Amino acid sequence: MSDRSHWWRRAGVGLLAYAVLEITFTLLGFAPDVLRLALLVAVGTAAVGLLRDSVDQEVTTWTPPPATSVVPPGSDARLAAYVRLIEGMQTARTPDGVLRDHLVRLAGELLTDELAGPPRRLSLTEIDDYLRRIEER
């Protein structure tokens, strides 16, 4: 059926509903307001028609696009985490011991004495030196 015939059929159902309600209310002793009842039936008919239009449609199938990686291809997620750790340490207002603890965990006993004490901001050359020493071990 075409869209036009749907709405003509709905208009007919709305008129029939209006007539049934008008007769029923009159027989029950109510004095319905003609315009308000017509508006109520029109809104109800339109709402039911729009609801049926949205439900009767065929299910649209689609495949989601493939997920894109947030890290460039070929990069290492652990390396990216360590880079974020170093960048966070450099931009923090007050140094915390997170980077120091990671370095001590990687180095074992090698850097424990040098990195002991309260947390301090490490320079890039110090970090590079510590990592070089860890790799040579």
For residue 121, pLDDT beyond 70: yes
Q: Are 82 and 105 in contact (CB under 8 A)?
A: no
pLDDT at 19: 94
Does residue 115 sit in the same domain as residue 82? yes
128 lies in a domain?
A: yes
Does residue 86 sit in the same domain as residue 51? no
The boundaries of the domain holding residue 118 are 77-136
Q: Quick check: pTM over 0.75?
A: no
7 lies in a domain?
A: yes
65 lies in a domain?
A: no
For residue 1, pLDDT beyond 60: no
67 lies in a domain?
A: no
pLDDT digit string, tens, across residues 4-40: 787 888 889 999 999 999 999 999 998 889 999 999 9
97 lies in a domain?
A: yes
68 lies in a domain?
A: no
pLDDT at 2: 64
72 lies in a domain?
A: no
> How many Å from the N-terminal Cα to the C-terminal Cα in the chain?
80
pLDDT digit string, tens, across residues 74-115: 778 788 888 888 888 888 888 888 888 888 888 878 888 888
Query: DSSP assignment, residue 62?
Result: -
Does residue 39 sit in the same domain as residue 87? no
Q: Are 20 and 41 in contact (CB under 8 A)?
A: no
- How many domains does the chain contain in total? 2
